[in-house]
Amino acid sequence: MAELQEVQITEEKPLLPGQTPEAAKTHSVETPYGSVTFTVYGTPKPKRPAIFTYHDVGLNYKSCFQPLFQFGDMQEIIQNFVRVHVDAPGMEEGAPVFPLGYQYPSLDQLADMIPCILQYLNFSTIIGVGVGAGAYILSRYALNHPDTVEGLVLINIDPNAKGWMDWAAHKLTGLTSSVAEMILGHLFSQEELSRNSELIQKYRNIITHAPNLENIELYWNSYNNRRDLNFERGGDITLKCPVMLVVGDQAPHEDAVMADSGGQPQLTQPGKLTEAFKYFLQGMGYMASSCMTRLSRSRTASLTSAASIDGNRSRSRTLSQSSESGTLSSGPPGHTMEVSC
């Protein structure tokens, strides 16, 4: 009998007819650490935070977030919020290569650029959505400016600095691999990379042929030189807002394979992520279930066993409280929701 092969299916549910992406406007602002570009979709909604995204290394806001934000079911959510998508310096489309010797901002400095963006837009609070390096940057921003962050969605965050073992492994890999391959190894699992699906081919092509690869390498270096976020369970350094922690079960450092997504769940499982995000927002008191017409009706228990859902209590602790390593925690009145997809 022919051997059964596991096939990874990427969820696809494009915009419905009549659903058109909202107009986008791209801006740049000067900050003490150089200029930063960001793109705003939609219009500000009274008494609502902006959804504010920060992408991972090797990507920009579009290659990181377009599949999620243009997912059909996501429209019902995002139409209620203005969205601000940051491109890390030198990652915006058409960015010129930085001159040799340019000092790229550290992740902490990238976080310190965010107040300039919010001031420029006159936005007072955000719900941050970050992946990898972007999740770290938004967490650092939230630690420094807790009153301006209403919630955080952190996808594949590593809050710790590289230890000496990580450095040794990194140096060894660097002897035989290109920067592009190392970044692909950060974004995707070895299994995904060797399976070489269409998605991997697409992202390998984007990164290997990026005209700004030198800039990408600078962001990569800043990521590798990050310091510990130093979260402490019950300690002084905690995120004060509700947090939705997401781990792709094929994320390079995630061993427990529980579901069917990849290292980048926002690319491969936009449906699951949309649904988890909906419950997260409901838990924060946004998106009353009566507003959730199409999404609520199409509820399919599609979240994985690792995701606990209890979205109807307003601003209360709803789900399992911390990550397994115990390094991320939020004290009352925040809540932490963990999703593996």
Cα–Cα distances (Å) from 78 to 43, 71, 74, 193, 210, in that order, read 11, 10, 6, 32, 30
Q: Read off the tokens for 144.
A: 């420094």
105 CB burial (10 A radius; 0-12, 13-18, 19+): buried
The one-letter amino acid code at 213 reads L
Q: Count the neighbouring beta carbons within 10 Å of the beta carbon of residue 272.
A: 22
Exactly one of 36, 59, 71, 83 binds ligand BEZ (CB under 6 A); that residue is 83
**38 near ligand BEZ, rule: CB under 6 A:** no
SS3 67: helix
Q: Roughly what angle, to the nearest 10 degrees, separates helices 198-208 and 179-187?
A: 140
**174 near ligand BEZ, rule: CB under 6 A:** no
Residue nearest ligand BEZ (C-beta atom): 69
Question: Taking the complex as a whole, how short is the minimal distance between the CB of residue 266 and ligand BEZ, in angstroms?
Answer: 10
Question: Taking the complex as a whole, how short is the minimal distance between the CB of residue 13 and ligand BEZ, in angstroms?
Answer: 15
**21 near ligand BEZ, rule: CB under 6 A:** yes
**136 near ligand BEZ, rule: CB under 6 A:** no
Measured in whole angstroms, the distance separating CA 310 from the mean position of its chain's CA atoms is: 22
Question: Taking the complex as a whole, how short is the minimal distance between the CB of residue 132 and ligand BEZ, in angstroms?
Answer: 17
Q: Read off the tokens for 99.
A: 């001159």
Of 58-66, 91-99, 127-135, 283-291, which part binds ligand BEZ (CB under 6 A)? 58-66
Of residues 107-126, those binding ligand BEZ (CB under 6 A)? none
Q: Read off the tokens for 311.
A: 């979205």
**211 near ligand BEZ, rule: CB under 6 A:** no
Q: Roughly what angle, to the nearest 10 degrees, separates helices 213-224 and 179-187?
A: 60
**14 near ligand BEZ, rule: CB under 6 A:** no
Exactly one of 41, 98, 120, 123 binds ligand BEZ (CB under 6 A); that residue is 41
How many residues in the shown chain lie near ligand BEZ by CB under 6 A?
11
How far apart CA 61 and CA 257 sit, in angstroms, is: 27
List phi, psi (to 5°) of 173.
-60, -40
**48 near ligand BEZ, rule: CB under 6 A:** no
Of 29-37, 61-69, 197-205, 209-217, which part binds ligand BEZ (CB under 6 A)? 61-69
Cβ nearer to ligand BEZ, comparing 66 with 224: 66
Exactly one of 65, 141, 219, 280 binds ligand BEZ (CB under 6 A); that residue is 65
Q: Are strands 34-41 and 83-87 parallel, antiparallel or unpaired?
A: antiparallel
**317 near ligand BEZ, rule: CB under 6 A:** no
Cβ nearer to ligand BEZ, comparing 21 with 235: 21
Question: Taking the complex as a whole, how short is the minimal distance between the CB of residue 267 and ligand BEZ, in angstroms?
Answer: 12
How far apart CA 110 and CA 277 sit, in angstroms, is: 25
**98 near ligand BEZ, rule: CB under 6 A:** no
Exactly one of 8, 10, 28, 66 binds ligand BEZ (CB under 6 A); that residue is 66
Cα–Cα distances (Å) from 222 to 69, 161, 203, 227, in that order, read 27, 11, 21, 10
**96 cis-preceded (ω within 30 degrees of 0):** no
Specify whether the CB–CB gap between 105 and 222 falls below 8 A. Answer: yes
Of 66-74, 115-123, 150-158, 203-211, which part binds ligand BEZ (CB under 6 A)? 66-74
Cβ nearer to ligand BEZ, comparing 62 with 233: 62
**59 near ligand BEZ, rule: CB under 6 A:** no
Query: In the complex, which residues of this chain contact ligand BEZ (CB under 6 A)?
Result: 21-22, 41, 62, 65-66, 69-70, 78, 83, 85
